[in-house]
Structure formats: structure tokens, C-alpha cells
Amino acid sequence: MALPQIKFAALRAINLPARMAPKIDLVDSVLDSLRAATAYVDAFAVTRGGAAAWRARRDERLAALLRHAHEHSPFYRRLYRALLGARPPSAWRLDELPPVHKAELMQHFDEWVTDPAVTVEGVREFVRDPARIGTPFLGRYIVWESSGSSGRPALFVQDREALAVGDALQSARGPVASALPSWLTPMWSAFGPMLPRLAFVGAVGGHFASVVSLARLVRVNPWLQGALRTFSFLQPRHELAAALEAWQPSVLSTYPSMAWVLAEERAAGRLRIAPREIWTGGESLTPALRAALSERFGATVRDSYGASECLEMASECGHGGMHLHGDWVILEPVDECLRPVPEGELGASVLLTNLANRVQPAIRYVLGDRVRIVRDPCACGSALPIVEVHGRDDETLGVDVRAGERVHLAPLALVTVLEDEARVFDFELCQTAPATLRLTLYGCDARPERVAAARTALQGWLRQQGLGAVRLQCGVCTDGEARGRSGKRLRVRALRA
């Protein structure tokens, strides 16, 4: 089926000079809306266009990305040197390109990016200042960081088209599409008062992908100011509860484990909110947890799949199918040796190709998640393939404060305290009794001064949560296997029955 062709080329060319950009947010915001509207119309048409439509889009976007990476990224030019023969980059097959790893890309950051004005030092300097969260880098990019296993954060740069595509996919296929009437979604930003009150609960103190993208959304759509609030999951739990109760969100957006912690607080009578929808992401949501959240809150649960490398990879339809945005994202499930697994099988890892972001191309990027691609048709009628994501997620701890009173701790909050405050990354935090935690540091973190820093940070945070009575045992292990964030082992383990 022939679809109207919408070209990004003209919009890609419009970029305000860096020195002007901060002064003319309004022009910026109009251009951003234009880009998002263009991408929205395209995503909407592709969703209804059948399998041939998304595949055609995928193929032409992949050819353009390969051409761009080859012309403008010295890293990829070197990597693909052996392939340069009779065929131009746009004719290369994806499966003949070597996979790339985060560590090597970060090591060659300045050659990886396709704009020589973007440098690792420049981005590092930019993310040092929390006041710049969600503001443009060099007047034309948005940047965020994620914790790395080695202790140095990985840095991600998104161009405006990638952000516009992300906004459009959210509106056309994501939970926003279900929260608002369909005719309203293309212009949802213009209907501030009718918008749901959204609460995002998570890590908000740094340039992390979720909070950066929310801050940017509000910056380019100031009328959203009254609809979105962010809440730190590290604040004392009674303060978090009071802030959420004051806001009374109709939509709660957070990690599945944090949603469960809040559900438990609500069940214990310590949190009085009644969201209509729970939007989850960032960790895997098991069917049991989904059912429990839905029942505890009496709310609809919508899950989505994204990563720092590509915020919008898949989102759930009203029939529970997690549809891959196949026109903008390619996922290849692979085995331990990074060889493709047969169609329909679960991989040990997955390779990501993000077709939307040109400034920092991710082409066959080893993402690490275990993914299965299901070709079965979905009851919603969409021809976009369905993905199943099988995570290896850290566990939620249930700690007893006193007889009959249990408090739940989200693993991501504990990890954030240890990584951001104590700067330790290679650890295992294990609950060994109802009110006892054992922290073991491994590898280069197995040093007395790191143990002391980790103990201070964790005890301080537990005290703030009213859990000063929890016993904390700390130690080191110098010959254990690494447990860093990219590792395959859990770092937070609940008490076994």
C-alpha cells in the first residue's frame, strides 16, 4: 500500500544558531511541535498501513542511517571499512555489520558522534550542572546520562528529530493515546486544563532520561507545567506520600517495583491517592505484578519498553500487546555469541538499531535485554510486531520496622543511593532476616573506604525512611564475579522464605 511520503529532510535542515536558541524558546517550541506533528501523522498512517508499510519505512530509514553514519562518524567508517566495496552503504544488509558495545562506543565517543561540535568533555561538563536538566546542549541537542558498570556514566545525545519521533510515538501509540480521546492527541499540548495530572516518581536529581525528557516536554510546551510533576523516590516515604497526596495524580508513572512499593503504602493506609492509570517502564512487569497493581489501585496499567539508547522502543496497545515501533526501531534477539536466534525464540541478548537518532547512531548496539519477537497478529489489528521482554530485575525488599509493620523498598532507590551517593557500582545487597541487610562490595569497589562510604550513605537513607533500626552488615569479596549494572546477576535480593 502506498502511503503519503513525509520527508524529514526539510525539518532536519531547520536549526537555530546556538547563541540564539535560549532566547527564542517560542520559535524553538513551534519548530519542535511541527516536527512532532509531522512524525505523528506518519506514525498514525504507518500504524494503519499493514506490515508492508512499517517494513518499507524501516528499510528506507535504515539505508539513510547507514549512509549518514558512514559519512559523518569516523568510528563507524573505520568499523565498516572491510565492507566498502562494490556496494554503497545504503545497500548493506544489517546482519553483515558487526555489533557494537557501549564500552567501546564510550571510549571512542568523539568519533562515534556525527557532529564534531559534540565532545565527551563538552557533554560531561554540561551534565555536571543539575540546573541544565532538559535544556538544549549546543542549542540543538538533548543529553542524558545513565550509570555505567565502571563508575563513569554513559552519555547519550539525542537530536531534535529523535525527540520529535519519541513524542509522536507516545501520542500515536503510547499510553498518552489511551489517556486522551484520539482526536485530541495530535494537539494534546494545546489542551492543558483537560490533561491528566501526571506524577512521575523516580530518580530526579540528575540528567537521567525520564526526568530530562519530562523537563524538555514542559520547556517546549509551557502549558504542560500544570499537568506534570516529578517526585524523587529517595525522599523520606512520609514526605513522598504527603507530596503525592497534595498533587492527587490521575496518572502515576514509575518503575514497576516502585509502583508496588506505593501500592503497599496505600494498602497500609499511609498513602491516599487514586490514580486512574499506572504507566510503568524501566523494569520488566510480570503478569502477576500487573494484576496486583491493577487490583490494589483499581487502575488500568500500561507498560512500555524503552532504554537510555532509545526511549520509545515499544508500547502496549489496549489489548495488552507490546508493539515494537518497527518503523523506527530494529531489535534483533541474539544468543550469547551475538548470533541471531531463530524467529520467535527468546534471545540471551538483543541488538538495537535506532533509526531516529542521527547524531549518535546506535547500529546493532548490544542492549543486553532478553527479548522475543512474536509475529502472531494482535486483536487490536496493528501489524506492528509484538515483543516480549524478559528482565533480570532486582527484587523489592519488605523490611519489618516493628511487629506487624512492614515497609517496602524499591530496588532502584537502593541502587541509586549506593551509586550516586557512595559511588559504588559492583555490589550485592541481600536481605538476610526481616530487619537485616548484608552489603557485599566486589572488584575494585572491595576497599575499606568504599565500604565506609556505602555504609554511611545507606544507613543515612534508611534512617530518613524511619528504618534506623534495620541492621546493616557490610563486607567485601575480592574473588567474586562482577555484579555491575551491565552484569547478568541481581544486585538487590529479597529475603528467601
Contacting range for Zn ion; rule: CB under 5 A; set: 229-237, 292-300, 319-327, 340-348:
319-327
CB of 316 vs Zn ion, minimal distance in Å: 8
CB of 44 vs Zn ion, minimal distance in Å: 15
Residue 30 identity (one-letter amino acid): V
Q: Which of residues 322 and 415 has its CB atom nearest to Zn ion in the complex?
A: 322
Binding mask 320-359 for Zn ion (x = CB under 5 A): -x--------------------------------------
Residue of 482, 493, 494 lying closest to 424 (CA atoms):
482
CB of 383 vs Zn ion, minimal distance in Å: 10
Q: Which of residues 140 and 173 has its CB atom nearest to Zn ion in the complex?
A: 173
CB of 353 vs Zn ion, minimal distance in Å: 23
Sign of the dihedral through C-alpha 125, 126, 127, 130:
positive
Q: Rounded to an integer, what distance in angstroms lies between the CA atom of residue 461 and that of residue 190?
A: 41
Which residue from 100, 359, 366, 378 is in contact with Zn ion, where contact means CB under 5 A?
A: 378
| DSSP per position, 380-417 | T---SPEEEEE--PPPPEEEEEETTEEEEE-HHHHHHI
Indicate whether 488 belongs to the interface with Zn ion (CB under 5 A). no
Residue of 256, 274, 189, 247 lying closest to 223 (CA atoms):
189
* Pairing mode of beta strands 277-280, 228-232: unpaired
Q: Which residue has the cell 557500582?
A: 425
Using the 8-state DSSP alphabet, how is residue 337 labeled?
T
- Coil, helix or strand for 39? helix
CB of 402 vs Zn ion, minimal distance in Å: 47
Q: Rounded to an integer, what distance in angstroms lies between the CA atom of residue 130 and that of residue 148?
A: 19
In terms of DSSP H, where are the helices of 73-119? 74-79, 102-107, 109-112
Q: Rounded to an integer, what distance in angstroms lies between the CA atom of residue 111 and that of residue 366?
A: 18
Contacting range for Zn ion; rule: CB under 5 A; set: 19-27, 229-237, 371-379, 407-415:
371-379
Q: Rounded to an integer, what distance in angstroms lies between the CA atom of residue 348 and that of residue 39?
A: 33
Q: Rounded to an integer, what distance in angstroms lies between the CA atom of residue 311 and that of residue 295?
A: 28
Q: Rounded to an integer, what distance in angstroms lies between the CA atom of residue 220 and that of residue 25?
A: 7
Sign of the dihedral through C-alpha 73, 75, 77, 79:
negative
- Give the number of residues in contact with Zn ion, rule: CB under 5 A: 6
Indicate whether 317 belongs to the interface with Zn ion (CB under 5 A). yes
Residue of 136, 135, 168 lying closest to 46 (CA atoms):
168
Sign of the dihedral through C-alpha 412, 416, 417, 419:
positive
CB of 449 vs Zn ion, minimal distance in Å: 52
Contacting range for Zn ion; rule: CB under 5 A; set: 90-98, 134-142, 382-390, 401-409:
382-390
Indicate whether 289 belongs to the interface with Zn ion (CB under 5 A). no
* Pairing mode of beta strands 349-354, 365-366: antiparallel
Q: Which of residues 278 and 324 has its CB atom nearest to Zn ion in the complex?
A: 324
CB of 315 vs Zn ion, minimal distance in Å: 10
| All three cell numbers of 16 | 537555530
Consecutive H or E run containing 476: strand 471-477
Which residue from 23, 319, 339, 471 is in contact with Zn ion, where contact means CB under 5 A?
A: 319
CB of 395 vs Zn ion, minimal distance in Å: 30
Contacting range for Zn ion; rule: CB under 5 A; set: 222-230, 252-260, 277-285, 312-320:
312-320
Q: Which of residues 168 and 322 has its CB atom nearest to Zn ion in the complex?
A: 322
Q: Which of residues 52 and 91 has its CB atom nearest to Zn ion in the complex?
A: 52
Contacting range for Zn ion; rule: CB under 5 A; set: 356-364, 375-383, 395-403, 425-433:
375-383
Q: Which of residues 47 and 235 has its CB atom nearest to Zn ion in the complex?
A: 47
Q: Which of residues 321 and 368 has its CB atom nearest to Zn ion in the complex?
A: 321
**Cα-based distances in Å from 172 to 167, 277, 314:** 9, 18, 12
Q: Which of residues 134 and 321 has its CB atom nearest to Zn ion in the complex?
A: 321
Q: Which of residues 316 and 394 has its CB atom nearest to Zn ion in the complex?
A: 316
CB of 326 vs Zn ion, minimal distance in Å: 13
Q: How many helices (H) and strands (E) does the chain have?
A: 15, 20
CB of 303 vs Zn ion, minimal distance in Å: 13
Q: Which of residues 346 and 380 has its CB atom nearest to Zn ion in the complex?
A: 380
Q: Which of residues 275 and 321 has its CB atom nearest to Zn ion in the complex?
A: 321
Contacting range for Zn ion; rule: CB under 5 A; set: 309-317, 420-428, 451-459, 468-476:
309-317
CB of 375 vs Zn ion, minimal distance in Å: 13
Which residue from 184, 380, 435, 477 is in contact with Zn ion, where contact means CB under 5 A?
A: 380
The burial of 90, by beta-carbon neighbours within 10 Å (0-12 exposed, 13-18 middle, 19 or more buried), is given as: middle
Q: Which of residues 35 and 323 has its CB atom nearest to Zn ion in the complex?
A: 323
Binding residues vs Zn ion (CB under 5 A): 317, 319, 321, 378, 380, 382
